[in-house]
Structure 1
Amino acid sequence: MNEIQVKIKTFLSKFFGNHDLQKDEDIFALGFVNSMFAMQLVLFVEQEFQIVIENEDLEFENFRTINSITNLVERKTAVIIHK
């Protein structure tokens, strides 16, 4: 796991109890996610990685797995670096 994935997994682990969440495991399918948690997750990603999640980023596919969240963060930080 890279540093971004470790930070995301650490955050998610606080809510998933003893479940060892895998990088490609669908957190929505596991039933752990409600609308309040989804908001917390978006806020965590914005604050932890100092990016802005735009309305068009708010799709399930961007937040479904550790890998999909990592890809979103990498895309958003690449835009910041290249500006």
Structure 2
Amino acid sequence: MSETAQQILEFVRNRYPQEQIDENQDIFALGFVNSLFAMELVLFLEKTFDITISHDELRIDNFRTAVVMDELVDRQRSALAARTA
């Protein structure tokens, strides 16, 4: 698991310390995410990884697991690098 995915998973686990959540579990399917927590996830990712999540990336499928959110962070970093190159 990447360091990014570990940080994301730690954030989710801190919110639900009583649960055993792994990096591939769908936190939406488990019922852990409401609209407020979804926004907290977006803000956490943007602040922690110094990215801006584009409007077209704000889809539930991009936030289901730590692994998927790690991929989202990578895409946003790559897009930022391409714009500044």
Which TM-score bucket, shorter chain as reference?
A: over 0.9
How do 1:51-70 residues align onto structure 2 when only pairs under 5 Å count? 51-70=51-70
Which residue does 1:14 correspond to in 2?
14
Return the offset for 1:20: 2.1
Which residue does 1:26 correspond to in 2?
26
CA deviations 1:18-45 (Å, max 9, x no partner) are: 2121111000011110000000000000
For the aligned residues, what is the CA RMSD?
1.0
Return the offset for 1:53: 1.0
- Secondary structure (helix, strand or coil) at the match of 2:10 reads helix
The ranges of structure 1 where at least 4 consecutive aligned residues each deviate by more than 3 angstroms after the TM superposition are: none
Alignment gaps of 5+ in structure 1: none
Alignment gaps of 5+ in structure 2: none
The percent of aligned pairs where both chains have the same amino acid is 40
Return the offset for 1:16: 1.6
TM-score normalized with structure 2 length? 0.90
The count of residues paired between Structure 1 and Structure 2 equals 83
